[in-house]
Amino acid sequence: MSMYAVNCSIPKTLVKFLVKWVAENITEKETSDILYRIVDTPISPELLPPTDNGEIEQKTEDIVGPYELHDFFLYHMIRYGADPQKIRYLAKHAFGDQYDEDTILKWLKVFYRRFFSQQFKRSCLPDGPKVGTISLSPRGDWRMPSDASVKVWLEELE
C-alpha cells in the first residue's frame, strides 16, 4: 500500500488490453517486443521467487480463476447489481464458447467467497482515481461492511 492507489479501479483485463494495444499501435518494434512479453507474463503478486529456470510458481489465475471471468463477474455485480443467477446466465452466454457451465459456476463461487472475505482490504485502501463506471473505493461508490456474509449469495447458486 502506498499513498495513492493509481490502478484501484482499473481491471487487470483492461490493463493487459491497453498494454497490448500500445504495443500494436504506438511503439517501435523493440518496445513492442518488451510490451508483448509483459502481456504474456501471468499476473502474480510475486510473493514467491521464480524457480531456477525463471518460471513463476504463484499464478493468481490458478487461485481466482481467469481474470476475464473475474472482471466480468465484478462488473455486473457492482455496475448493475446483478444477482448470482443473472451473472451466471450472462457469463454462460458471453463465455459459453470458452468455458463450460461447471467451470463458470466454480469460478463464480470462488469470486463471491473471495469478494466477501477480502472486503476488509478495500476498507483501508489509499485514495485513488475512478476510471470507468465502477470503483471499489470506500471513499467513492462502494459501501460494504467488512463482516458481510457471502452465505445468501452462494445459496442462490445451489
Evaluate whether the domain defined by 62-156 bears CATH number 1.10.10.1140: yes
**Cβ atoms of 77 and 92 closer than 8 Å:** no
How many residues are present in the chain?
158
Is the pLDDT confidence value at 153 over 70?
yes
What integer pLDDT is reported at residue 55 of this predicted model? 79
Half-sphere exposure of 147 (CA within 13 A, CB side): 0
**Cβ atoms of 88 and 157 closer than 8 Å:** yes
Q: Break the chain into its structural domains and give their ranges.
A: 62-156
**CA-CA distance, 91 to 105, in Å (whole number)?**
9
Is the pLDDT confidence value at 104 over 60?
yes
**CA-CA distance, 3 to 26, in Å (whole number)?**
31
Is the pLDDT confidence value at 7 over 90?
no
Q: Using one digit for the tens of pLDDT, what is the confidence trace for 57-68?
A: 777 888 889 999
Q: Using one digit for the tens of pLDDT, what is the confidence trace for 14-63?
A: 888 999 999 999 999 999 999 999 898 887 766 667 778 877 777 788 88
Name the grid cell of 62. Answer: 490458478
What integer pLDDT is reported at residue 130 of this predicted model? 80
**CA-CA distance, 46 to 59, in Å (whole number)?**
8
